[in-house]
Chains A and B, each alone.
Chain A
């Protein structure tokens, strides 16, 4: 069913010509070493020689560039990266320019771009420009379209952008290892004409196998991942998507992981406005609250932020919104440990019966019971009403009326009186 808001979003997307602007979101909550600043304050395209772009990459940034001989030149450095996924979880990844995902490359349709790729990895690499239409020799498939870029070497890729949309870059050399370690990034091509969008977010979905007590992703894992990330960050360290009431919002989602991820919005519905194959014609869009982002694909969704509040935005595979979990453990549900717990405590005083009534108690438990090194608890996040009991691929879209600064977390939403669920007291029900 097409809702009013969805219709408005579709119309807005079609309208075009609206100025892109507004305050920049300074995404500095987790202290990441940003490669550049998100800077949405300037008219698109960004002025030559200035860093950044108009896209907000939560927990990340856009890649600076400079104009050289009429060519927009970027410098990507492939290198090992220590990435803090959340406080208490720092992962020995590989990425670009000190971060994973690599900084978002932003350019405008029709521009000629040159990307210098310097390899500071211990092994060779290459960069494939996923979804971008370019000459075969620029496609970045090691061995097939070019020699691999050996450690210490720099290759230049140069091509003219003949399309717009949300694309990606990633290695096409020892791809299994290099992607498993976090090498990926957005390549966003804006249309020549400014778009009717106030907030433009880019979130790369990924999953890592960081076994409990370790810090290096295990590239051999095919299915049993335990760390599910938005821009290589897990909830609650994921930066919120701050929007003013009525903003036209686009969220670009990319997926280079081993699983599809059904990404779900609360309090709104949206249209899928584009893929890495290009824009979806308005006539082909239908309303959704969940978009399944396939492996090796991007999805742009658009909506009007017309419903104030704190709205969860997450992968709907419930295991993907959990912190580190073991998947082969025994099911303790419905097990009464009375008596046995005391017996075990005589041998192991730190022992506590868990899981008998569900796993929610886990979050409080984890506050005073230590876990393995470098391992976040399965559930985290504390909201105004208590434990949020999530982790992994989860963030909050914060929509506020009268917002003046996108760069500042507006705090928890205060629900107007009479609009909250309430406990039913005895007799009332």
Chain B
């Protein structure tokens, strides 16, 4: 009986030791780490609303940001707490954390019982009880936990990558809205220029000074400018809704307004020479891919380490014979690695590891390439915007001033003067597009570099070229560049 007692005691000790493992699943689900990683990369704090108080906090945050119009940073902040896709993505963290908890638990013991009735004497009922515990599931806890934790880390990096993706998409969408807003406004001015020109030509026609041919030709021009304005407004509607979707807004809050203007070019670029290394070091999707490779390597290790031991169970069996005698004793069942020593599983794990490594390497190549491409495009976009700012727009301004001077001396017509003004508006459209490209690329480069780039210098306040607004009352003699304000 001492053996029996010993076995019983052993099982009890085993279960007692394992019981603490069946703790509850923590609610944080690694989100603080995600938050920390996002903040470290210069993004606003994401939010994960999983209960009523979380949802109330989120709604407060959204309302705060919408109050008085959205800045670009506020738009990103709203998206990071309110975008439903991102929220769904965060649940991957919950799943991964659950996996970690599950990995720390052994298989539950299995209780087996049966009663059998002999048909010949002695006629006592035969009872058998057995409690069995998979020993392997206990032995594998450290390995399984390690795998699950690696997967959890991977999930956290993946969540950070989703945050960064959404942040740049939001920035790009916000820039698109700013560009579209300004372009629609400037198109409106161009349409007004064409409209005023047409109105005056109408007066000339009524006075008998120009023919219907001239008047109708000018109408057709003015109408086409009006259609351009409609296209601009359409683009604005599209741009607004694209951002609204990213922000997860609807109802009254979909009537958000922007609180900032398209920024002028910063005086200098951040140091972009180490951009590839920065991208490889910081990109969360690359970190996630490397964790995936880590996971595959660990999985392979476990497969190899445990290739001879696929199933080990220990148990305690008690049987009451019909004659009333109890037979009690431990049992052990072990799978014999006779035909398979897990070669297929190991081969599969090796494949998975190679695939994961290849994917990580491929992503690193892509990350470097994207960093280079975006750096180059950003610098080109800067040069284009600078060209507009420093050469094209001033030249257009001078052109209008010259036309004004010609008009003043009756050497040019009002329609030529207004057409020059319209051409200046067109050039300003081009400038806005170039500036929009710059800021979009800047946001994308930030994502591709795995976070905000270090500022080169404290940004100085630069006078941005303003849209071709009416100059000061100088009759075209020259423009005061500083005093003008956008229409």
Contacts and interface: CB of A to CB of B under 8 A. Distances in A.
A368 B404 CA distance: 13
A344 B210 contact: no
10 contacts: A213-B405, A333-B209, A336-B207, A344-B200, A347-B418, A349-B470, A350-B408, A350-B477, A352-B408, A359-B410
Interface in A310-342: 324-326, 329-337, 339-340
B199 interface: yes
Interface string B388-425: 00000000000010101111111111110110010000
Contacts of A337: 200, 203
A60 B210 CA distance: 45
Please report whether the interface of chain A is mostly helix, strand, loop or mixed according to DSSP. loop
B415 A330 contact: yes
B474 interface: yes
A404 to B, nearest CB: 41
B475 A329 contact: no
Contact of B193 (A325, A330, A347, A349): A347
Contacts of B278: none
B315 to A, nearest CB: 93
A376 B409 CA distance: 9
A323 B191 CA distance: 35
A370 B470 contact: no
A183 interface: no
B35 to A, nearest CB: 50
A417 interface: no
Contacts of B472: 349
A372 B196 contact: no
Secondary structure class of chain B's binding surface, majority of residues = helix
Contact of B207 (A335, A354, A369): A335
A119 to B, nearest CB: 36
Interface residues of B, number: 38
Chain A contact-residue range equals 35 or more
A212 to B, nearest CB: 5
B473 A369 contact: no
Interface of B: 189, 192-193, 195-196, 199-200, 203-204, 207-210, 400, 402, 404-415, 417-418, 421, 470-477
Contact of A335 (B192, B203, B405, B407): B203
Contacts of B470: 345-349
B160 to A, nearest CB: 50
Contacts of A293: none
Interface string A75-110: 000000000000000000000000000000000000
Interface in A282-329: 324-326, 329
Contacts of B200: 335, 337, 340, 344
B192 A347 contact: yes
Contact of B418 (A331, A344, A352): A344
Contacts of A330: 204, 209-210, 413-415
Interface in A343-377: 343-352, 354-355, 359, 362, 365-366, 368-372, 375, 377
Nearest to A343: B196
A390 interface: no
Contact of B417 (A351, A359, A375): A351
A258 interface: no
A329 B412 contact: yes
B409 A347 contact: no
A378 interface: yes
A182 B189 CA distance: 47
A368 B477 CA distance: 10
Nearest to B192: A347
Nearest to A369: B408
Given A330-B209, A370-B405, A371-B408, A347 B189 contact: yes
